[in-house]
Structure formats: structure tokens, C-alpha cells
Amino acid sequence: MSCGNRVCPFHELRAGNGSLPATDLHCLVENAVKQVYFDRGDVLFAQGEPSTSLFSLSRGLVKISHNASDGREQIVGISSPGNLLVGLQSLRDDNYLYSAVAETRVTACKIRHRALLNAVRTRGEVAMQLIEALNAQLAHSRELMRVMGHKCAAAKIASFIFLLVPKSKQNGHAVKLPFSRGEMASLLGLSEETVCRQMAKMKRSGILYSPRGKIEVLDWDRLQAVADETHAETT
């Protein structure tokens, strides 16, 4: 059976097989995969549960968070199609280290850990694609650390949006991001008041349109200029 999730690292197209028509391409680990669906607010997996699978998104956004001992939630990442494999951080752990919750309606390939690791041991092309996925995870983590480092508040928010939106949707497309101001503040280490104030400034400047719970980017070039700023209000 052919596979339509062409952004998954285990799709033959991503493995460099350019000799087959796209309609004939398959999943490299198809015996370990099934397609699953989630509505907004559904839990893909919860922190502390047995770690059995990871997810490759073909549609939607997923929030990755960690619950501290005092009950506080810390958002540690966001995954979108072609971005990260959800659950990759816990691939070799007995239990999930984080929780993953659908922020929108989500379609994903659910890949069983044990079958994937068995395939890695015997098939070099699967091992190489897993290495690529791990490298993408590290690159995303480094970029998130850079965003949260020395940038000012407005630049953090603008850079955060660029992290979430695929480049294919950054040319003349209005993209809706269903995150609350509080969730953005949690991830970026800012106060919710600061996030609201900075986004209001970008709205007045015609860069963003931000109705409650959503964001539309109206001017990507000006948003990039904000992301490149390093000196401004930071609290």
C-alpha cells in the first residue's frame, strides 16, 4: 500500500528514492505504522505513561509540555508536519518524559517503538532516516534555545511564529496559529502581559491580525525584521 504522508522521515521519498513515481512510494516501516486522528484537546500521550510509539504528523499542530512536581505546566515545544517526530525524545525510555496534546485537529502516522528499532538493526536506510530525524530534533531544540536567549520580547514572539510555520506557507499565505497568549508566554519565558502588549504593537503596525486564540501573519517581511531585532523591551 502506498503512503501519502510525504513529510514523514520514513517515507521512501525522504529516503532519496527518486526512481519511483510518487504514487508508488511506500513507508519504510509500514508494518509498524497505522494512521490515527485526534481532535483539538486530545492527548496523544501523557507524561509518565509507558513509552510505546512516536507520531509523524501529516496535518495539524501538537503542543509538547512537561508538568512540574508542583503541577505547573511548562511548554517545551510545538510540533507541526515535517517538523519533529512527536515522542522521539522518549524513544529509548520506559515512560514518556513529556505530554503531547493536539492544538488543532491532527492526522498522524503512529509508529511503534519496538518495531522501528528492530528495523533500524537490520535496514541501513531506516537507520539513516532515524539519524536524520534525531538531527532535526537537535536543530529545532538549538533554534528554540536561540530564540529564548538574547532576543528581545518582540523578537522572541516573531521568531516563535517562524519556528511553527513551514516555509511553504510563508509566501502570501495567512496562517492561523491557535495558541493562547498564556501558552506563548510559557514557552518563551515571558509574562502574558508582555506577549499581549507586543502583539498589540505588531497588530497596530499591520504585521499581524490576532483575533482571540488565533494569529494571522499579514506581512512576513516585516515580521522577519522584528525577529532579527536584538534590542528592545524584554520584560
Architecture of domain 22-146: Sandwich (2.60)
Looking at the domain 150-227, which fold is it?
A: Arc Repressor Mutant, subunit A (1.10.10)
Burial group, residue 206, by CB count within 10 angstroms (0-12, 13-18, 19+): exposed
The CA distance from 54 to 88, in Å, is 6
| Average pLDDT rounded to a whole number, residues 116-121 | 80
CB-CB contact of 78 with 187 (8 Å)? yes
**125 vs 221, more confident:** 221
Domain ranges within the chain, ordered by starting residue: 22-146, 150-227
**Strand arrangement of the beta sheet that strand 99-102 belongs to:** 43-45, 99-102, 62-67, 73-79
CB-CB contact of 90 with 98 (8 Å)? yes
Count, residues in the chain? 235
pLDDT in tens, 134-165: 777 777 667 666 666 657 899 888 888 887 77
Closest CA to 104 of 39, 43, 155: 39
Res 24: pLDDT: 42
